[in-house]
Amino acid sequence: MAAKKIHAIYTDDDLLLQAVNQTRAAKYHISEIFTPFPVHGLDHALGLAPTRLAITSFLYGLCGLTVAVLMMNYMMIQDWPQNIGGKPSFTFYQNMPTFIPIMFELTVFFAGHLMVITFYMRSKLWPFRKAENPDPRTTDAHFLMEVDVDNHDVETLSKFLYDTGASEISLIENEQDH
């Protein structure tokens, strides 16, 4: 079964944002948008749900803080306590002011590195994966909106997209396995 899609190319991000609003208001389904840079407000215009990546970043930071506290407590208090610079090594809370930089650095380290891994997994970006960019111009200065044709008339949809400000429109037929 072949699924028909229309690729509409826009040359301005504001024009794209306005076209997305008009296309959604006309009840056409936008399957994907390719942009050379993040467009502010595009996720809201597409009706995408807010991301939960900030929550995962916070949880990764807590893991880093926990590892830092446990590591320093074991190394500096339990395993090999030393009197460094006149600071006693009897308890963790007595030495905590000197441990704050290490706790901060491990919190940032865990959050940063695990967020990169999470982003790659969420985006399905694996090593040696082939790029799925349908038009190389979208990495430079053009914006592409991919609209599903479904049961709509191609001529009517094309005219509608030209009226929204598209500079170029092409019909694409994708082979799908069903």
User: Which tokens belong to 32?
Assistant: 């994907």
Q: Is 106 buried (19+), middle (13-18) or exposed (0-12) by CB count in 10 A?
A: buried
Domain residue limits, the chain = 2-36+141-175, 53-123
Considering only residues 173 and 177, tell me which one the structure prediction assigns the higher pLDDT.
Answer: 173
pLDDT digits (tens, 9 = 90+) for 130-163: 888 888 899 899 999 999 988 888 899 999 999 9
Q: Distance between CA 34 and CA 128 in Å, rounded?
A: 21
Domain 2-36+141-175 has CATH 3.40.50.300: no
pLDDT digits (tens, 9 = 90+) for 98-133: 889 999 999 999 999 999 999 999 888 888 888 888
Q: Is the pTM of this model over 0.85?
A: no
User: Which tokens belong to 150?
Assistant: 């479904």
Closest CA to 165 of 4, 5, 6, 13: 13
